[in-house]
Every structure is written in structure tokens, then in C-alpha cells.
């Protein structure tokens, strides 16, 4: 039976709800972006990408500690130790308050240097400083409510966050479309985004307070609180230091691209690239949130200390993600041009080479998720504290050389990200998980992933060949026919390659339980 409080049940509920909410949110965002592009132009699309990157860079102040807090909550949540949970929440709320305040102050300090962050073209857009402040508040205000998200996540109730976020986003997107049609004001567009963030956080905070009785939190000063586990504060400090390193890597890899392009390319190129990123980010966000929604279950599993079970779960997650990525590579790469043409017009279509590089970077980012999930769930941030510094150095260093010396523009930036993924993160993170929590069982892991990598390479080469041949063009029906035929062939190959894998066994088991449950 699939009990309502079981780890598997909570994981399935989190994954299912998150997947549906993220999918519909992504579709709404695509519609809103189309209205933004058609009513205000590509420059404003580029501006959203640049400002999002700048604000993400400033958010280094959160130190990546949300996963650390969730990790600290696993045991008291499993033991239903309300006293310890209350003490931890006091700590979390105070730390997040400091972080939010520092983040906002850092944003204000950056105002005189804004032109160096967003580029000369962006500075010519009306009300640029007001728009920057609105984006700053939109991110900063979430820190003051972050503790309420943490406790829901640690309790395997991520689906509550997903539902609330979807509802507020739906209303906001509807109002943004009306505003773009009637008023055509980018300032109004961002104000609605800010109001949505406020509403989302207030509702999540209210739900958490009511669900966990957080109105009765102890009022002691943090330095007077005595935690049951003497390692709570040392663990927090160590993982915050590791989190700083991880955050630096995320910033330089995910946020530096648009900032570098803003200074070496036109705002229009940034806008075109942002359209492609919106699609890949939508796909990767969907898979990321599905995996993140089971992090609490993995952390709960970790408390058992069973290395064999840890390995089995890690391999299952890896196989499932590899399967999904393989099936997404061909349709995403082949359908880019057709979709962009229908969505924002043919003049926004990028050439074949950057299209393939964007697809590859998305693929390499997504296949990291199982390892990142285990790193968060087992509190391994401190151990990998140097990894992200090396990652960011490789990414920015290679990109700048290709931009300045070889004048490669967008391709140079994309190759910088590709090199940092291949040379640093995509091998090290699984190695760390296998070494620390899976008993160093490398051979079994490699037996599962090597066939997947071979299929990755084959799928990418096939997509490149089709795009270079011009057989698709921007025809919707040609694209669909080629994609369907390709997916049928690929699905057949994937089935025979993965039919005996642990991931396929898990999928079969889940479907079997659901069908059995419905027939009882």
C-alpha cells in the first residue's frame, strides 16, 4: 500500500504537483514574454535577462543556506520534536532577516556602478533606476519570509509552496498581459511582479504559521538558545562557508553570461539569447523542482545510514533524469527555430551553432540534479567548498578569452559554460556523493551512466545533422513529423538500453502500485 505519510507517497505528491504547477507557470510565462516582446520590443526582453542576472549575483548574500537549514530540520521533524523545531525557526528567521537587510544595502551600494553591470544600451531605457530598485525589492523581500518555506520543504510539503506560487503567478501574468496591452508600461509590469512576490510570501507564511504553530516560538536571544544537538551551530557555520563557494559558482556560471554579453554584445543579442534561455530554464526548472521536491525524502533516507540503499536511490534518480534528458534533447533542439518563429518572430532565431551549445549546456546542467540533491540532503556543502570557485574561474576565464581575443561573441560565452561543466562539475559532484554516502561503489554507478552519455552524444550529433541539413526550416509540420519519428526511434533505443536499470524498475513499480491501488 502507498500510505499517505510514506516517503514514497510524499515524493510522488511533491513531484506530481510541482511538475504540473511548473509546466503551467512556464506556459504562462511564454505567453507573457510574447506580449512583452511584441508590445515593448526585444530590448526590454534583454533588460529582464540582464537585471535578473545582476540581482542573482547580488543574492550571494543568502550564502546558499536554505539547504543547510532544511538539513538541520530533518531529524527534529522526523522525531516531531516541536521544541527543537521552534528553536531552529527562531535561528532561521533571525539569520534570514540579517541576510535580507544586507542584500538590500548591497543593492543600494551598487547603484552608482549600475552602468557597468547592465551595459550602456540598458542605461538608456527610461526609469532604469526605478526598474532596478523594483527588481531588487522583488528578490530582497523574499528573504524575510524564507524560513516559512524551509519548514514546509523539510516536512516534504513542497507541493503546498508549488500550489500557492502557481495561483499567484497565474493572476499576476493575467494582469501583466492586460497592462502590456492597455498601458504598455514596463514599470507597471515589474510592480505587478513585486506584488505577486509579496502575496505569495504572505500566504506561504500564513500557512506555515498555522500548520506548525509558529506563533508560539520562543523569544530568547539566539545566543541564549540551547540546541539539543551540540553540532547544530558548527554544522551551520561549516555549511554556510561551503554554501558561499557553491553560490559563487552558481552566480558566475548562470549570471555572468548575460552581464558579459551586455558589455560585449548588443542588447538585442541579449534579448534573443534570453528567449532561448527562457525555454531551457523552463525545462530545467521543471526537472529541478521535481528532483528538489524529493530532497527531504532523501535526507530522511540518509538518517538510516545505509550506504547500499543510498547508492540504489542515487542510481535510480540519476537513471530517471538521464532518461528524461535524452528524450528532451531532440525535440528541444529541433523545435527551437519553429517555436521562436511562432512565439516572437523569425528575426529572433539564433544560428545552428549557438542553438546546439544552448541545448548542450541545458543537458549538462540538468544531469547534475541527482548529485546536487544528495549534496544538499546530506549536508556536503563544506566538503566541496573549493569546487565552485574553480568552476566559476574556468567559466569566466574561457569566456573572456574567447570574447576578447577571438571575438566569438555569444558562442564564446556558451563555450565558457560548456567547459566549466565538462571539466569541473559534471564528474566531481557524482564522485563526491559516491565517496561520501554510497561506499565508493563507482563501478555500479558507471555501469548505469555510461550508456546514457553515449546516447547523449548520439542525440546531439543527430540534432546537429538535421539542423545543418535545413530539412526542417521553420515549418511547424516538418518539425513535428521529424521530432515524432526521431522520438519513436530514440524511445525504442532507450527502452532496450535501460530496461533492466534501477530507474526503470522504480517507474514500473510506481505505476504498478497506483494501478493496484485503483483496482482494490
Alpha-carbon distances, residue 263 vs 55, 60, 399 (angstroms):
17, 22, 13
Mean of per-residue pLDDT scores for the chain = 82
Q: Which of 367, 386, 375 is nearest to 427 (CA)?
A: 367
Q: Between these two residues, 123 and 59, which has the higher pLDDT value?
A: 123
* pLDDT on residue 82: 82
* pLDDT on residue 509: 64
Whether residue 501 has pLDDT greater than 90:
no
Whether residue 121 has pLDDT greater than 80:
yes
pLDDT band, residue 349 (cuts 50/70/90): very high
Q: How far is CA 376 from the centre of its chain?
A: 14
Kindly state the average pLDDT of the residues 30-34: 89
Q: Between these two residues, 456 and 299, which has the higher pLDDT value?
A: 456
Whether residue 127 has pLDDT greater than 80:
yes
pLDDT band, residue 2 (cuts 50/70/90): very low
Positive or negative torsion for Cα 219, 221, 225, 230: positive
Q: How far is CA 387 from the centre of its chain?
A: 19
Kindly state the average pLDDT of the residues 308-319: 85
> For 421, which DSSP code?
I
Whether residue 218 has pLDDT greater than 70:
no
> For 255, which DSSP code?
I
The 10s digit of each residue's pLDDT in 251-281 is 666 667 877 887 888 888 888 998 898 888 8
Kindly report which listed range (105-114, 276-285, 303-312, 458-467) carries the lowest average pLDDT score.
303-312
Residues 6+ apart with CB under 8 A from 469: none
Q: In the chain, pLDDT over 90 holds for what percent of residues? A: 25
Which of 235-245 are b and which e, b meaning 16 or more Cβ less than 10 Å from the residue's Cβ?
Answer: bbebbbebbbb
* pLDDT on residue 71: 75
**How far apart (Å, rounded) are the C-alpha atoms in residues 375 and 369?**
10
* pLDDT on residue 271: 87
Alpha-carbon distances, residue 249 vs 140, 236, 352, 425 (angstroms):
20, 20, 28, 10
Q: How far is CA 517 from the centre of its chain?
A: 33
Query: Could you give the angle at the alpha carbon of 53 between the alpha carbons of 112 and 168, nearest 5°?
Result: 110
**How far apart (Å, rounded) are the C-alpha atoms in residues 384 and 243?**
9
* pLDDT on residue 1: 42
Positive or negative torsion for Cα 325, 331, 337, 342: negative
Whether residue 34 has pLDDT greater than 50:
yes
The 10s digit of each residue's pLDDT in 354-384 is 999 999 999 998 899 889 888 877 878 778 8
Whether residue 510 has pLDDT greater than 70:
no
* pLDDT on residue 298: 64
**How far apart (Å, rounded) are the C-alpha atoms in residues 493 and 323?**
11
Which residue matches cell numbers 537513471?
319
Alpha-carbon distances, residue 261 vs 44, 178, 255, 356, 409 (angstroms):
15, 31, 11, 18, 7
Which contacts (CB < 8 Å, 24+ apart) does range 507-513 have? 507/320, 510/8, 510/12, 513/2
Whether residue 140 has pLDDT greater than 70:
yes
CB-based contact 159:166 (threshold 8 Å):
no
* pLDDT on residue 403: 93
* pLDDT on residue 222: 56
Q: In the chain, pLDDT over 70 holds for what percent of residues? A: 81
The 10s digit of each residue's pLDDT in 67-106 is 777 778 877 887 888 888 888 888 888 888 888 898 899 8
**How far apart (Å, rounded) are the C-alpha atoms in residues 251 and 273?**
18
Amino acid at each position: 500500500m502507498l500510505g499517505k505519510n510514506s516517503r514514497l507517497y510524499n515524493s510522488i505528491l511533491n513531484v506530481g504537483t510541482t511538475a504540473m504547477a511548473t509546466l503551467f507557470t512556464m506556459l504562462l510565462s511564454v505567453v507573457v514574454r510574447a506580449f512583452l516582446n511584441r508590445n515593448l520590443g526585444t530590448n526590454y526582453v534583454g533588460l529582464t535577462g540582464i537585471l535578473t542576472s545582476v540581482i542573482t549575483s547580488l543574492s550571494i548574500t543568502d550564502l546558499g543556506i536554505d539547504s543547510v537549514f532544511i538539513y538541520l530540520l530533518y531529524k527534529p521533524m522526523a522525531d516531531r520534536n516541536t521544541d527543537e523545531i521552534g528553536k531552529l525557526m527562531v535561528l532561521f528567521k533571525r539569520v534570514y532577516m540579517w541576510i535580507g537587510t544586507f542584500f538590500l544595502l548591497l543593492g543600494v551600494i551598487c547603484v552608482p556602478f549600475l552602468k557597468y553591470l547592465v551595459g550602456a544600451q540598458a542605461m538608456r531605457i527610461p526609469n532604469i533606476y526605478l526598474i532596478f530598485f523594483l527588481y531588487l525589492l522583488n528578490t530582497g523581500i523574499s528573504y524575510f519570509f524564507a524560513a516559512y518555506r524551509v519548514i514546509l520543504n523539510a516536512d516534504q510539503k513542497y507541493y503546498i509552496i508549488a500550489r500557492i506560487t502557481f495561483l499567484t503567478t497565474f493572476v499576476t501574468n493575467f494582469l501583466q498581459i492586460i497592462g502590456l496591452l492597455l498601458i504598455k508600461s514596463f514599470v507597471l509590469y515589474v510592480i505587478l511582479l513585486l506584488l505577486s512576490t509579496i502575496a505569495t510570501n504572505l500566504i506561504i507564511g500564513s500557512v506555515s504559521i498555522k500548520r506548525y504553530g509558529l506563533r508560539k516560538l520562543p523569544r530568547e536571544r539566539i545566543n541564549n538558545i540551547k540546541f539539543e544537538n551540540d553540532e547544530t551551530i558548527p554544522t551551520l557555520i561549516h555549511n554556510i562557508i561551503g554554501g558561499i563557494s557553491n553560490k559563487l559558482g552558481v552566480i558566475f556560471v548562470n549570471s555572468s553570461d548575460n552581464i558579459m554579453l551586455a558589455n560585449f554584445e548588443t542588447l538585442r543579442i541579449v534579448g534573443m539569447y534570453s528567449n532561448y534561455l527562457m525555454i531551457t530554464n523552463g525545462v530545467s526548472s521543471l526537472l529541478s523542482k521535481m528532483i528538489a521536491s524529493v530532497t527531504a525524502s532523501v535526507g530522511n533516507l540518509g538518517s538510516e545510514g545505509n550506504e547500499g540503499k543510498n547508492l540504489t536511490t542515487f542510481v535510480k534518480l540519476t537513471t530517471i533524469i538521464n532518461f528524461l534528458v535524452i528524450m528532451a534533447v531532440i525535440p528541444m533542439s529541433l523545435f527551437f527555430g519553429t517555436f521562436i518563429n511562432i512565439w516572437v518572430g523569425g528575426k529572433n532565431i539564433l544560428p545552428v551553432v549557438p542553438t546546439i551549445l544552448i541545448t548542450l549546456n541545458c543537458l549538462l546542467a540538468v544531469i547534475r540534479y541527482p548529485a546536487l540533491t544528495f549534496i544538499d540532503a546530506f549536508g556536503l556543502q563544506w566538503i566541496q567548498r573549493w569546487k565552485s570557485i574553480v568552476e566559476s574561474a574556468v567559466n569566466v576565464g574561457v569566456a573572456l578569452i574567447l570574447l576578447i581575443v577571438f571575438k566569438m561573441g555569444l558562442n564564446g560565452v556558451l563555450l565558457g559554460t560548456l567547459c566549466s561543466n565538462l571539466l569541473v562539475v559534471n564528474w566531481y559532484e557524482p564522485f563526491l556523493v559516491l565517496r561520501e554516502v554510497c561506499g565508493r561503489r563507482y563501478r555500479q554507478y558507471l555501469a548505469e551512466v555510461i550508456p546514457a552519455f553515449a546516447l547523449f552524444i548520439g542525440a546531439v550529433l543527430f540534432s546537429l545533422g538535421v539542423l545543418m541539413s535545413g530539412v526542417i526550416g521553420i515549418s511547424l509540420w516538418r518539425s513535428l513529423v521529424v521530432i515524432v519519428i526521431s522520438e519513436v526511434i530514440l524511445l525504442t533505443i532507450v527502452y532496450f538500453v535501460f530496461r533492466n536499470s534501477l530507474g526503470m524498475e522504480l517507474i514500473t513499480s510506481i505505476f504498478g502500485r497506483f494501478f493496484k491501488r485503483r483496482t482494490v
